[in-house]
Amino acid sequence: MSDADRIRYEQPEPNIARVVLARPDKKNAQDKRLLYQLDDAFQRATTDDDVKVIILAADGTDFSSGHDLGRTAFMGEPFRPIHAQGGFTAPGAEGIYAVEQEVFVELCWRWRNIPKPTIAQVHGRVIAGGLMLVWPMDLVVASEDATFSDPTVAFGLNGLEYHDHLWQLGARKAKEILFTGRALTAEEARTVGMVNQVVSRDELESTTLALARTIAERPMFGLKLAKLSVNQGLEAQGQYTHIKSAYGLHCLGHTHFMAVGGSPIERNGKTKIRELSGANDTSATRYSD
């Protein structure tokens, strides 16, 4: 791996690919480079007919601390858009809307629709944007130390851009987590159906591999059809329409704070975000940048 690499691609067993977030010094904070390298890795696994199951894992102490909010992480760094739209360099709300729709909504939806079973292997903290990597996956295996949070209401927003809280948590639990910003434990997440299995940290990798191995014994076309059947049911319930609608409200929040304070977020929320994330230093959550 070079210094520019954010993702590692592995094949731990036949028919299984493992994509690893490999930015542990930044707690796997996401910038454009990481997200598009992740997309490249997912497409590599998707188009390899020998791969039947894809695992998403992470290096370091935390699965992902969310979005890297450094000045050039998203709005400044050039990128190769996946979806047919423009306006990425436009000033004001137009540019913010275009970039975040591409990077935070459409990429997640693309990964959600990978025509192969996907498993998130999760440990440590998953903060805000980190949920946007976990939620598109079909199954989630978490270690006992895993926690899941979206504290972004403290920024004056309605939650993260890929607003899938309702389907992941149910209406009342989604409101509780958004209103309070507190983290769900792995066991709480299992109870509400967001996580499939909770195991010790020592057993996390082996348990995830065992699950992938079992799935890989099934016919690939059957797996694809089963995934489509469930996903299309969610779409019939309005999942994607809801995500796009909530994303528009997210951008309204950005526009408001740009108008009143010259920043896309409520600046006073940074301290609260640190507290809710269990961190007092900027290395623990890039939302504090």
Query: Taking 60 as the threshold, does the pLDDT of residue 190 lie above it?
Result: yes
pTM of the model: 0.92
pLDDT score at 285: 42
Let me know if 91 is exposed, middle or buried by CB neighbors in 10 A (0-12, 13-18, 19+).
exposed
Cα separation, 42 vs 44, in Å, equals 5
Which residue bears the tokens 């997200």? 35
By the 10 Å C-beta count (0-12 exposed, 13-18 middle, 19+ buried), 166 is classed as middle
Handedness of CA 50, 55, 58, 61 (dihedral sign): negative
Res 283: pLDDT:
36
Strands, E assignment, the chain: 7-13, 16-21, 53-58, 118-122, 125-127, 139-143, 147-149, 184-185, 197-199
- Both tokens assigned to 146: 């895993």
Contact at 8 Å (CB) between 8 and 204? no
Amino acid making up residue 82: I
Residue 266 — very low, low, confident or very high, per pLDDT cuts 50/70/90? confident
pLDDT at residue 284 tops 50: no
More confident: 99 or 10:
10
Find the mean pLDDT for residues 19-43: 96
Neighbours of 260 (CB within 10 A): 10
Contact of 214 with 130, CB cutoff 8 Å? no
Decide: 65 and 127 in contact? Cβ < 8 Å: yes
More confident: 102 or 282 = 102
Q: What is the structure's pLDDT at 75?
A: 56
Question: Where on the phi/psi map is residue 285: left (φ > 0), alpha (ψ -120 to 50), or beta?
Answer: beta
Q: pLDDT category, 158, cuts 50, 70, 90? A: very high
